[in-house]
Amino acid sequence: MKDIKGIPIRKGIIKSAFDYQGLDANLIITYKYFEEKFKELYQSYADIFCLDNCVFYISEDYYRCNGFAGRIEHYNIIGITNGYPVLMKDKFDDKYFSNIICVGFINEKSISDAYVDLHKDQNFKFNEFMLNCSIQYTFSHEFQHILQFNSSKICKNFLYSENLDKSDFTLKNHAWEFDADRMASYEVLKYTFSVYRSLKYKDNEKLKCMLYIALASIVITKNLFYFGVTNPINSECTIDKQDFYIKQYSHPHPLVRIYNMVEYFYDNIKGDFPKLNIDPQEILNNVLGILKIYFNNLIPNQNVMQNYFEDAIEFTNEINCYNQELYDFAIKDDSINVLLKKRGIKF
């Protein structure tokens, strides 16, 4: 892992690195937590994929919560804006998950009991686990872009930001986002199993609950952007929902991305954990139940989930058709094709 201090501050390589050392003690703790998490992940993945010239840094951008990845002058750069740690730490605060075990009521007794057991486990905290799943998703999404850049035959600089650019659309960019979301969701599944293995008392019901919670975490992460509650300078949460679209802008619509991630997450549960016998309705009921509890706590005066359900139902056919189109395009893309073959992923 390269230290940004050793990199010449040239245009496009390092932009406005953020120094948090002079801030309030609690903010320093927050920034250090996120910086160490991202650096540890990046070092681990860089070693696995034999990448060098890897750089992580926090950039100064007070008005946006954002993550980004770039391949610039042979440097592999992953970064987050300084709004990201503050917002994510706040949005995954324990107060929003205080009654999450209520989701157990929609399940049979064995699953309901497993939620209670996790809640009672002093070594497992719902909000901390969900925050770490969100971090894992964000990092893995950006790292997949790094792999895409390195497998591309086009010799030029790349820089992808997670924030929406309304002036730019190509099907290739949407396909790369589609691919990055799928790989990121799978890395969250792997992370979930690693945490499950560390528990003292383990059973299939607990693993099921953890998989529901993990998937809910990344769906929440996407919905925070969908409903426009990612402004770090606005303490009040109000809905500013993105209108639905298909072939526009730099990224697929959040609902398109959520459908893609949920489907891929479920497919990999079936492939990796067939004995769990999780059916699609079961996982949807639990994920949506967790979302309802979370958003009712986060924005109590607005019916967020009604907005979500209305759009999800209205645009289901368009979402499914577009995700299929993105899949068909992605598996023919040279960069993605190379990566799929390297990982032994069937397509």
pLDDT, tens digit, 9 for 90 and up, residues 162-215:
888 888 899 999 999 999 999 999 999 999 999 999 999 999 999 999 999 999
72 close to 12: Cβ distance less than 8 angstroms = yes
Residue whose C-alpha is closest to residue 67's, from 43, 91, 88, 92: 88
Looking at residue 56, the DSSP 8-state letter turns out to be: E
> Torsions phi, psi of 213, nearest 5?
-65, -40
Model confidence at 347: pLDDT above 80 = no
Q: Tokens representing 202?
A: 């383990």
76 close to 54: Cβ distance less than 8 angstroms = yes
Q: Tokens representing 59?
A: 């950039």
Q: What is the pLDDT of residue 80?
A: 95
12-16, 30-34, 80-84: least confident range: 12-16
Which ranges of 121-203 does DSSP label H, i.e. alpha helix? 126-151, 171-198
Q: Tokens representing 282?
A: 């079961």
Average of per-residue pLDDT across 325-346: 86
Model confidence at 154: pLDDT above 90 = no
Q: What is the pLDDT of residue 255?
A: 94
Reported confidence tier of residue 236, pLDDT bands at 50, 70, 90: low
Model confidence at 232: pLDDT above 70 = no
The pTM for the full model equals 0.94
Rounded mean pLDDT of the chain?
89
Average of per-residue pLDDT across 253-263: 95
Model confidence at 233: pLDDT above 60 = no
Q: Tokens representing 256?
A: 């398109």
Average of per-residue pLDDT across 285-304: 88
Average of per-residue pLDDT across 291-305: 86
Q: What is the pLDDT of residue 10?
A: 61
For β-strands 75-81 and 54-59, DSSP reports them as: parallel
Burial of 115 (0-12, 13-18, 19+ CB in 10 A): buried
Reported confidence tier of residue 1, pLDDT bands at 50, 70, 90: confident
